[in-house]
Amino acid sequence: MIIEVIKSKLHRVTVTEANLNYIGSITIDEDLMDAANLIEGEKVQIVNNNNGERLETYVIRGKRGSGAICLNGAAARKVQPGDVVIIMSFAHMEFEEAKSFKPWVVFPDTKTNKIIK
């Protein structure tokens, strides 16, 4: 049996920009992408803690060290700069493998989006 489990999670990052006039996606600081084991083009689910919105899009690489979390295109209508969001990706795996799988979970500083060490 194949099940879907959480693979990666950026827990409580702050939206730095919302760019309606850009082809859809979410721009994420490359440092955050690396820490959460996310790759460019990967599908993610975004949960907005400020207004309850949920949406799916794909990742594009942001400038390393910038703290960028920018919702682009139509997704920009679902957030405001300053909103706190959770970004998650999921993976399909065998049930037995999923029992021992450990996701990459990152808890950045919500003011700077920098990784807390």
User: Any catalytic annotation for residue 58?
Assistant: yes
Domains of the chain: which residue ranges? 2-98
Name the residue with tokens 């808890």. Answer: 107
pTM, entire model: 0.95
Predicted confidence (pLDDT) at residue 59 exceeds the cutoff of 90 = yes
What is the average pLDDT across 7-22?
96
User: Any catalytic annotation for residue 22?
Assistant: no
Give the Å distances, CA to CA, from 98 to 26, 36, 58, 75. Answer: 27, 18, 23, 31
Rounded distance between C-alpha atoms, residue 4 and residue 101, angstroms: 11
Give the Å distances, CA to CA, from 36 to 62, 69, 86, 108. Answer: 14, 14, 12, 11
Confidence of residue 42 (pLDDT cuts 50, 70, 90): very high
Q: Percent of the chain at pLDDT above 90?
A: 96
Name the catalytic one among 8, 22, 25, 89.
Answer: 25
The domain made up of 2-98 has a fold known as Barwin-like endoglucanases (2.40.40)
What's residue 57's pLDDT?
97
What's residue 11's pLDDT?
97
Name the catalytic one among 58, 66, 89, 100.
Answer: 58
CA 83 to chain centre: 13
Rounded distance between C-alpha atoms, residue 55 and residue 25, angstroms: 11
Which of 33-37, 90-94, 112-116 is predicted least confidently? Answer: 112-116
66-79: pLDDT as tens digits: 999 999 999 999 99
Confidence of residue 23 (pLDDT cuts 50, 70, 90): confident
